[in-house]
Amino acid sequence: MTTQLPHSVLLSLRVIGLASASLVTGPLVASAGAQAITPQAIESATFAEWQARQGVDAPSGLDVEPAEPGEGAAPAPGEADSGSATAEVAVTGEPSVVVETPANTTDVPDETGVQPLSGEETPDPFLVRLQILLDRAHVSPGVIDGYLGENTRKAIRAYEEMRGLAVDGEPDEEMWTLLVVDTGEAAKTYQITEEDLSKRYVETIPDDYEDMAQMEWLGFHGPAEMLAERFHMDEELLKTLNPNATFSAAGEELLVASVADPADTKVSRITVDKGRGLVTAFDESGAIVMSAPATVGSSDTPSPSGTVTVLGAAPDPTYHYKPDVNFTQGDNREPLTLPAGPNGPVGSMWIDLSKPTYGIHGTAHPALIDKTQSHGCVRLTNWDAQNLAGLVLPNETKVEFLP
């Protein structure tokens, strides 16, 4: 699925990629010789057969370079679009407290242009199973999409660290042997309910902030997008696994990722590794409870340094646009309040930090986590932000920002 977006933000400068005015929410990397993506292929997938199919070393992940100025390109540093709007949210446990984020920290919606590395690739059943099992071990690969990208490698590294293995971020037999101690099915059948169909969906979300501010809710576009997020999946993978699904009838059965319930061990410390684009949460003993790929700030609008404290968490934050202190979007010269919703600028969760104006929050575009840069805050998928919010202890959990 290709989604047209209104602007661009700076992209991570890692490995040369391609940029355009549109966003391709599908894969950035695919493995060689992928099998057909069927339930049977997913459940029977093993590391040995995947390795045999490669023939060569698994390809390295593709990131992107800054877009060229022009249509769909990232604004140069100092240009008007490098600013952002502000968010105002209530802090759980302190209803009188309002969090307000300034120009250089709150994120504008993910806006970039990324294309696949080559041609029409297909997801790999082994990598689907691998990502699901990593997700169930609470080391999130971001979206489950069946491709060996950098976020999956981050999850592998986190799992290797968690289990005391040699750390290289690549699939190997030792890691796989421990991972498949989880013998549960990687995919399961889910039946669409009337409640799924009756949620607050929106047909379109306009680009212009004034038009967006007239809406009551920045919700999902339909059941397919909602269910993809519920099961931590790329929407295109969900549709690939269910080619005949309409996503519009109660009782319709779908094949979905069998993801785990969120971790439930409270965490005393969270690290935000800005160099790796990774959030890791630890319990009091220092054991890893959860990790997730993250989008962090750029060199021009960096994420904080040092150690701060979690103040609380606020689901479904609204978003305040103030052009007198932020960037000017289109012809909008007056402050605007954008409604809450999972497709809002800060997603469906805000975790407030003691450093004023900074937070950890969700996103409307989970496939772009760590494929763009934020304006200082730490951005996770909506589900990872929600999971992390359930683990923190207000006024106790520390967040350490690593270089």
Give the integer Cα–Cα distance in Å for 388 and 403.
Answer: 21
Of the pLDDT bands very low, low, confident and very high (cuts 50, 70, 90), residue 213 is very high
Q: Which residues contact 261 (CB under 8 A, 6 or more apart)?
A: none
Give residue 84's pLDDT: 37
Q: Tens digits of per-residue pLDDT, 102-146?
A: 333 344 444 333 333 333 478 999 999 999 999 999 999 999 999
Residue 57 CB partners (closer than 8 Å, separation 6+): none
Task: Answer positive or negative: Cα dihedral of 378, 384, 388, 390.
Answer: positive
* CA-wise closest residue to 143 among 342, 364, 381, 403: 381
Q: How far apart are CA 299 and CA 141, in angstroms?
A: 25
**Residue 55 — very low, low, confident or very high, per pLDDT cuts 50/70/90?**
confident
Above 60 in pLDDT, residue 20? no
State both tokens at 256.
């979905």
| Range scoring the smallest mean pLDDT among 48-52, 127-131, 220-224, 385-389 | 48-52
Q: How many CA atoms lie within 13 A of 330 on its CB side?
A: 14
Q: How far is residue 134's CA from residue 403's CA, in Å, rounded to a whole number?
A: 25
In 3D, which of 343, 106, 323 has the Cα closest to residue 205? Answer: 343
- Mean pLDDT (the chain) is 78
Grade residue 262 by pLDDT with cuts at 50, 70 and 90.
very high
Is the pLDDT assigned to residue 66 strictly greater than 90? no
When pLDDT is cut at 50, 70 and 90, the band that residue 376 belongs to is low
Report the alpha-carbon distance of residue 53 to residue 136 in Å, rounded: 25
- List the helix and strand counts (H, then E) for the chain: 10, 16
Q: What is the pLDDT of residue 263?
A: 94
* Dihedral over alpha carbons 196, 200, 202, 203 (to 10 degrees): 40
Q: How high is the pLDDT of residue 178?
A: 96
Helix (H, G, I), strand (E, B) or coil at 11: coil
- Give the global pTM: 0.77
b/e code 251-283 from CB counts within 10 Å (16+ = b): ebebbbbbbeeebeeebbbbbbbbebbbbbbbb
| pLDDT at residue 28, as a whole number | 33
Summarised one tens digit per residue, pLDDT across range 345-365 is 889 999 999 987 778 999 999
Mean pLDDT for 136-163 is 96
- pLDDT, tens digit, 9 for 90 and up, residues 70-93: 333 333 333 333 333 334 444 444
Q: pLDDT at position 210, please? A: 87
- Burial of 246 per CB tally in 10 Å (0-12, 13-18, 19+): exposed
